[in-house]
Each structure stands twice: as C-alpha cells, then as structure tokens.
Amino acid sequence: MARFVLKLILCLLVALAAGFGYLALRSGDALYSFYEWVSPARFQQYDKLILSVAAEHQLDPMLVKAVVWRESRFDRQKYGTAGERGLMQVSEKAANEWAREYKIDNFQVEQLFDPKTNLEAGSWYLRRAFDHWQNESEPLPFALAEYNAGASRVQRWVKAGGTTTSQFLGSIDFPTTRKYVQSILDRYAFYKKRGRM
C-alpha cells in the first residue's frame, strides 16, 4: 500500500511539473514564469500601486511594470551605479525636476526608496519622455531611450539613423541602451501577450 501511495504522489508531482512546464513555455518566457510562480509576492507586490500611478500619468501599467522589472527586478532598495534609486531607478536630477513640477517642499533624494514616491517620479519622467516623442509613429522606443540615456542623446541618434523603430535602434551607439530598450519592449510584449502584468 505504501508503494502505491508513493507512486501516486510521484505521478502527481510529475503531472504538476509537466503542466507548469507547458504553461511556462506557452507564456513566452518560461524562466520568468517560473520565478513568478515561486515568488509571487516579489513579482506582484507593487501591481496595485503601479496600476494607480500609471493611470495618473496616462501610461499602460504593463509598460511601467516592464520598466520596473528591467530597472530593479522589483527591488525597492536598489541603488544604481550612477546614483539612481529604487524601483524605477530614478536619478537625482529627474527626481528634483519632478519635485519642482509638483511643488514638493523639502524633497530628499532618499525618498526615492519609497515605492510610491519612486513610481510617481519615474512615471512622470517616462510620461514626459513620451510627450517629447509623441509625433513619432512609434514613440515608445524613443521614450525608453530617453528614459535611459537622456533627451540630447536620443536627438543625436534620431539625426544619425532615422525615425522608424529599427532605424532608430540601429543608430543607438550605446549597446547598453539598445539592449535596455529592446529588453523592455520584449517584457512589455510578454505582459500584453498574456493579458496581465
């Protein structure tokens, strides 16, 4: 009897693993799906906040979550190599511009480790980048490049390469920015394909 129960448990575990494997492969990113399944709290803990802040800034929450994933892997305490902070890795300069725009007195850069503050400042900065490139047929790659490397560099890349997405990506002479933009575009497409963040 004990052998039968052991075999049954083993069969159930194999069936569960196969079912999860199938769903993970079908999702488009099996490794991400696996990590999300193992640690849902880490991957989903900011979803409600992202929904709220994205709506406020007229951004797709799936895009904001894709930026958060790329920038910090959902680590609100992340400190970047150039001093960027928090979930969306907001720079001190961008945060101060946001604080001035919203008339936030006594803003301290350490407040960027607060998820709400960080998402507010980062989403504002991303929305502003979108607004700079709103006349492009596909403003998203331009806005993401600006978010990562700054407006003046994006303007230089546009002059060097053109305005279609593939031409623009080809003109980016910072491999890390090109990879950054492509990884967010891919993650955003992944979220949209599965229909949820």
Residues forming beta bridges with residue 85, ordered by sequence position: 79, 90
User: Can you tell me the distance from the alpha carbon of 64 to that of 53, in angstroms, rounded to the nearest whole number?
Assistant: 9
The pLDDT assigned to 16 comes to: 66
Tens-digit pLDDT profile for residues 113-162: 999 999 999 999 999 999 999 999 899 999 999 999 999 999 999 988 87
Global pTM reads 0.84
Coil, helix or strand at residue 127: helix
Length of the chain as a residue count: 197
The one-letter amino acid code at 89 reads: Q
Closest by CA position to 139, among listed 197, 180, 185? 185
Reading the chain (197 residues) residue by residue, the pLDDT tens digits are 777 766 767 766 676 665 555 544 454 577 787 877 888 778 899 999 999 999 999 999 999 999 999 999 999 999 999 999 999 999 999 999 999 999 999 999 999 999 999 999 999 999 999 999 999 989 999 999 999 999 999 999 998 887 788 899 999 999 999 999 999 999 999 999 988 88
List Cβ neighbours of 38 (8 Å cut-off, separation of 6 or more).
none
User: Can you tell me the distance from the alpha carbon of 159 to that of 37, in angstroms, rounded to the nearest whole number?
Assistant: 44
User: Can you tell me the distance from the alpha carbon of 21 to that of 15, in angstroms, rounded to the nearest whole number?
Assistant: 10
Backbone φ/ψ region at 72: left (φ over 0), alpha (ψ -120 to 50), beta:
alpha
The pLDDT assigned to 161 comes to: 80
The pLDDT assigned to 24 comes to: 47
Please give the C-alpha separations between residue 89 and each of 1, 10, 72, 134, 179, in angstroms, as whole numbers. 57, 44, 7, 23, 16
* C-beta separation of 76 from 70 below 8 A: no
